[in-house]
A and B are shown apart, each in its own frame.
Chain A
């Protein structure tokens, strides 16, 4: 009887475990089925490297290069802002902060993670956008920079909490050894703790970036959505995600435009899959 119970529970958990993979596979198959149809009318090269996105014209021009570059520019910008601040914050929380401050900071970061992106987008639209416009004397504040700054806020909680975990899991003996050799606190952090936790911190950065590239609502509200190849971070951009969100309602099911949006979905899926796999490999490296 006990064995039977064990058996049933084990199998149930196995099904739960397999379910997530099963769903991912189904989603991916659905994406492929709908997205690949677009290549009947546009070649893969023209789709990925075409410079014009006019999906509802006759004939439609379906080049997503401006969208890919828009997404990448915002992501790089957000990474440049959020990585130093996020990692610095993690070091402070894990190594330096007294217990009380540590608790407050952690609560604050969790709160930051809990703000819905549409709220961040709205706040960005009324505060950050005019600020960027006036600061750089631009024709409009709806730029990639505004998007990057807002998304940096969104990536920070992920980066801080995972990087902090990585720093915690460095064995105590490393630190004690460094102190015993007469190293100062900062020398210990910089030369011992950070290298030891580096793979975990890299994973944190990767996951933060993954969050940025998939973000939709905030970027749609504050980046201007102009499908033009950006030459500077102070220009408006249109991202892959915002394009899908803005146009899916209009696309007639089964039309070229509809398939093209699913193909964009595949591109996004591939990008975030690559990022997650890289992050994962860093995490595993640490455990070995």
Chain B
């Protein structure tokens, strides 16, 4: 209950600042937690160059961002997944026209504890693990330990992307789901921490979160293909199989300050920031 009121309150706050935007040069950027650091880095650099403009960046998840675009309370959405049919029709009902701009790529790293002997898997094996068909590490050549599946909560674009592209293998008719016993954690950092401390855990998140305490898994499309490490080069040359586009959504074709900001993100400078925050540029 409280959360919903908070949400309403925030929406009102956003709405009022959106009104102020006209004379104060303020835009609201909201959405994917994966992209918050990137968005903030863009905004800082942009505001350094244009001291009179103000960009407010907040997270909350791709779904949260898109629903605030639909309710008209933010100007740009950062999304780590495509907008859904349902969301488009809801937006159209409210006279809002979501416009998609691809701004970066993100490799999704699958990580395990460094003590885990398993270091490469095929996408089929990954699907088997996360849907719960493979239950023990020994089936994959590891120790005799039950696999602990870690996933993000359902409000995360990363969760949705991983389900559609790894579990369901891009098949829209597939009914595969995360195993019910998968632990749903509320942030990428929580997954990183649990993987660091649990030798039986496996999780996934954007490449930016990898540290020495986790071991990224090399992934192959199938048994015959080569196993590819999750590095920026491998995402750029499209060898790494689990990478996804990152988007900005605006209402209609960008205009004014929104256009200025979007253009900045796609400029050489903006794309350098993409690389600096551990994502992969779309333009080189």
Q: What residues of chain B lie closer than 8 Å to A27, measured between beta carbons?
A: 1
Would you call A265 an interface residue if the criterion is a C-beta within 8 Å of the partner chain's C-beta atoms? Answer: yes
Q: Quick one: which of A46-80 are within 8 Å of B by CB?
A: 52-57, 66
Task: Kindly report which residue of chain B lies nearest to residue A30, judged by CB atoms.
Answer: B1
The DSSP consensus for interface residues of chain B is mixed
Interface contact A140-B7, CB-CB below 8 Å: no
Hey, which bits of chain B sit against chain A, CB under 8 A? 1, 3-4, 7, 60-61, 63-64, 66-67, 70-71, 86-87, 90, 145-148, 153-155, 160, 175, 177, 180-186, 194, 197-198, 200-201
Interface digits, A92-119 against B, CB 8 Å rule (1 contact, 0 not)?
0000000000000000000000000000
Interface contact B198-A248, CB-CB below 8 Å: no
Q: What residues of chain B lie closer than 8 Å to A140, measured between beta carbons?
A: 148, 183, 194, 198, 200-201
Interface contact A253-B67, CB-CB below 8 Å: yes
Interface contact B87-A139, CB-CB below 8 Å: no
Interface contact B197-A247, CB-CB below 8 Å: no
Q: A224-B183, A252-B87 are in contact. Are A130 and B197 (CB under 8 A)?
A: yes
Which of A52, A57, A245, A246 lies at the interface centre, i.e. has the most chain B CB atoms within 10 A of its CB? A246
Q: What residues of chain B lie closer than 8 Å to A123, measured between beta carbons?
A: none
Q: How large is the interface on A (under 10, 10 to 19, 20 to 34, 35 or more residues)?
A: 35 or more
In whole angstroms, how far apart are the Cα atoms of A249 and B63 in the complex? 7
Interface contact B197-A250, CB-CB below 8 Å: no
Would you call A200 an interface residue if the criterion is a C-beta within 8 Å of the partner chain's C-beta atoms? Answer: no
Q: What residues of chain B lie closer than 8 Å to A66, measured between beta carbons?
A: 180
Task: Kindly report which residue of chain B lies nearest to residue A224, judged by CB atoms.
Answer: B183
Sampled A-B contacts (27; CB under 8 Å)? A27-B1, A55-B154, A56-B154, A56-B160, A57-B175, A130-B197, A140-B183, A140-B201, A221-B186, A224-B184, A224-B185, A225-B153, A225-B183, A226-B184, A227-B184, A248-B3, A248-B7, A249-B7, A249-B60, A250-B61, A250-B63, A252-B66, A252-B67, A252-B70, A253-B67, A255-B86, A265-B1
Would you call A144 an interface residue if the criterion is a C-beta within 8 Å of the partner chain's C-beta atoms? Answer: no
Task: Kindly report which residue of chain B lies nearest to residue A143, judged by CB atoms.
Answer: B183
